[in-house]
């Protein structure tokens, strides 16, 4: 008898002929996630099992963060031969609990002498008679005791929800425009959750932003990499471009033109890194550069899809997500990110593409972009 983790997966189930590919990826990621806590991981009978870890809580936390995992339970694995022992163990598991309960049973070993209803009845009866303070409620119980009969018997109470999604690396790669704010890490998370690998581009405006501001962004990237593994962060020196724009372009268009440059440079690094799309944290109408016209203006300079998973979300919803993912606290640190010194007082909210293109003509785009790419610092995380 030993304690193990029982890991259920979600959407991978829906896959057809290529399900083994998805499952292999998922198992690999569970292995990666538990490597430091010493877990042994295997796939059997529609479940992933983790055993031999040295810290069960930490192992559980890590596994629950693997994309593709639906839920995780602590379970007792024991010999299925002695049903009385199983009942005794069930009572032990339930002893600390109060309130109502029911027993659910599942039997994949169809030769087992008891069928599922019998298992439920007998184990439930044993618990009810031996654990004071518990009552049966099959409709809306406080606790569910799960008994599964497979190669062994598995007993578990309760579960923690996983992050769901698809196994990392099953859906290509995209490049996230990562600032120090609340939105972009959430946007990156949402796309990564669909099994998309990430790389990040960050624009650094020294001296308008400090070394600490850059470190904050890297901290955010580290939190993301806890979910999505290894990633590369490109830190692009952006001050020169901002100053040129500030000097040569009309005030009301500076932010928009700056966004267009960010997109252009991100596309260069995306292609370099094998990514097929860009990700931004834009939400419609949140600020002047995120109106529909403005989004149209930034779209036209990029030759790959731009994913904006937050597009229909309110700020409060985004914050809720950020708190859940664990990026909120870092995002709220006070270091300046995109230099407010350059934000115009009255940015255009309904920019026209032809006017923006015309305004940009004064800039030596090629040279500016080449210099920024040349000066970029590449940081490997995870």
Partner 1 sequence: MIYLDNSATTRPFDSVIEVTVRSMSEAYFNASAAYKPALDVEKEMRACRKAIAMEVGAAEDEVLFTSGGTEGDNLAILGVAQTLREKANFVCSEIEHPAVLETIRRVEKLGHEVRVMPIGPDGVVDLAACAELIDEKTAFVSCMQVSNETGAIQPVEEIARIARAKNADVIVHVDGVQGFMRVPMHMGKMGVDLYALSAHKIHGPKGVGALVVKKRVRLAAQMTGGGQEKNLRSGTYNSAGILALHAAVKEMAARRAEVAALGAMKAHLWQRLCGVAGVRVNGPMPGDAASAPHILSLSFDGVRGEVMRNALEGAGILVSTGSACASHKQKVSTSLRAMGLTQEQADGTIRVSLGLHNRMEEMDAAADQMIRMFALLSKYKRR
Task: Tell me the closest approach of the beta carbon of residue 204 to partner 1, in angstroms.
Answer: 11
Instruction: Tell me the window of 94-102, 123-131, 165-173, 337-345 that interacts with partner 1 (CB under 8 A).
Output: 337-345
Shortest distance (Å) from residue 48 CB to partner 1: 44
Q: How far is the CB of 253 from partner 1 (least distance, A)?
A: 13
# chain residues binding partner 1, by CB under 8 A: 19
**Per CB under 8 A, which region of 9-17, 19-27, 66-74, 335-343 contacts partner 1?**
335-343
- Is residue 335 near partner 1 by the rule CB under 8 A? yes
Longest distance between any two alpha carbons in the chain, whole Å? 84
Q: In terms of CB distance, is 186 or 235 closer to partner 1? A: 235
Nearest approach, Cβ of 248 to partner 1 (angstroms)?
12
**Least separation in angstroms between CB 343 and partner 1:** 7
Instruction: Please give the full DSSP string across 12-66, using - where no structure is assigned.
Output: GGG--TTHHHHHHHHHHHHHHHHGGGT-EEEEETTEEEEE--S-HHHHHHHHHTS
Residue closer to partner 1, measured from CB, 317 or 329: 329
Residue 13 CB coordination number (10 Å): 12
Which window, 81-89, 110-118, 206-214, 230-238, contacts partner 1 (CB under 8 A)? Answer: 206-214
Out of 96, 132, 303, 334, point to the residue binding partner 1 (CB under 8 A): 334
CA separation (Å) from 37 to 56, 61, 63, 284, 295?
8, 11, 11, 42, 45
Find the shortest distance in angstroms from Cβ 280 to partner 1: 24
Q: Near partner 1 by CB under 8 A, which window of 45-53, 66-74, 134-142, 208-216? A: 208-216
Which residue, 66 or 213, is less far from partner 1 as judged by CB?
Answer: 213
DSSP 150: S
Residue 203 found at the interface with partner 1 (CB under 8 A) = no
User: Which is nearer to partner 1, 92 or 342 (by Cβ)?
Assistant: 342
332 touching partner 1, by CB under 8 A: no
CA distance 271 to 269: 5
CB crowding 284-319: b at 16 or more within 10 Å, else e: eebebbbbeebbebbeebbebebbbbbbebeeeebb
Residue with Cβ nearer partner 1 (58 or 342)? 342
Torsion of CA 363, 364, 369, 371, to 10 degrees: -120
- Quote the CA–CA distance of 107 and 105 in Å, as a whole number: 7
Q: Can you tell me which of 14, 111, 340, 374 binds partner 1, judged by CB under 8 A? A: 340
Q: Computed from CA positions of residues 19, 155, 39, 186, in that sequence, does the dihedral angle turn out positive or negative?
A: positive
Cα-only R_g, the chain: 26
Cα 263 to Cα 2, 111, 256, 273, distances in angstroms:
53, 61, 11, 15
139 or 340: whose CB is closer to partner 1? Answer: 340
Least CB distance to partner 1 at residue 230 (A):
30
Owner of token pair 């009978």 = 45
Closest to partner 1 by CB, 174 vs 328, is 328
Which one, 252 or 365, has the nearer CB to partner 1? 252
Is residue 5 within 8 A of residue 35, CB to CB? The reply is no
Of residues 231-290, those binding partner 1 (CB under 8 A): 243, 246-247, 251
| Separation between Cα atoms, residue 165 and residue 207, nearest integer Å | 40
CA 240 to chain centre: 34
Binding site for partner 1 (CB under 8 A): 206-211, 243, 246-247, 251, 334-336, 340-345
């Amino acid at each position: 008898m030993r304690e193990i983790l029982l890991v259920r997966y979600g959407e991978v189930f829906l896959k057809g002929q290529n399900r083994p590919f998805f499952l292999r990826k998922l198992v690999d990621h569970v292995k990666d996630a538990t490597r430091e806590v010493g877990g042994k991981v295997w796939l059997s009978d529609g479940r992933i099992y983790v055993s031999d870890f040295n810290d069960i809580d930490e192992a559980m936390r890590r596994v629950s963060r693997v994309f593709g995992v639906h839920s995780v339970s602590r379970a007792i694995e024991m010999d299925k031969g002695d049903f009385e022992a199983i009942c005794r163990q069930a009572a032990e598991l339930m002893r600390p609990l109060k309130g109502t309960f029911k027993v659910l049973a599942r039997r994949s070993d169809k030769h087992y002498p008891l069928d599922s209803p019998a298992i439920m009845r007998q184990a439930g009866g044993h618990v009810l008679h031996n654990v004071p303070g518990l009552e049966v409620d099959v409709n809306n119980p406080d606790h569910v005791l799960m008994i599964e009969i497979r190669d062994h018997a598995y007993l578990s109470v309760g579960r923690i929800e996983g992050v769901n999604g698809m196994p990392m690396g099953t859906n290509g790669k995209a490049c996230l425009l990562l600032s120090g704010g609340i939105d972009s890490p959430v946007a990156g998370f949402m796309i990564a959750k669909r099994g998309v690998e990430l790389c990040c581009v960050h624009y650094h405006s020294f001296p308008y932003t400090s070394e600490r501001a850059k470190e904050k962004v890297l901290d955010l990237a580290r939190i993301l990499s806890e979910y999505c593994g290894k990633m590369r962060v490109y830190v692009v020196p952006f001050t020169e471009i901002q100053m040129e724009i500030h000097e040569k372009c009309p005030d009301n268009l500076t932010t928009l033109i700056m966004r267009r440059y960010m997109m252009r440079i991100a596309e260069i690094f995306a292609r370099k890194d094998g990514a097929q799309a860009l990700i931004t944290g834009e939400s419609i109408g949140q600020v002047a550069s995120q109106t529909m016209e403005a989004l149209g203006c930034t779209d036209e300079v990029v030759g790959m899809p731009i994913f904006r998973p937050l597009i229909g979300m309110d700020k409060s919803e985004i914050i809720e997500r950020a708190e859940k993912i664990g990026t909120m606290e870092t995002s709220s640190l006070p270091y300046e990110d995109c230099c407010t010194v350059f934000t115009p007082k009255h940015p255009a909210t309904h920019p026209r593409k032809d006017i923006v293109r015309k305004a940009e003509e004064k800039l030596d785009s090629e040279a500016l972009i080449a210099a920024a790419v040349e000066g970029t610092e590449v940081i490997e995380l995870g």
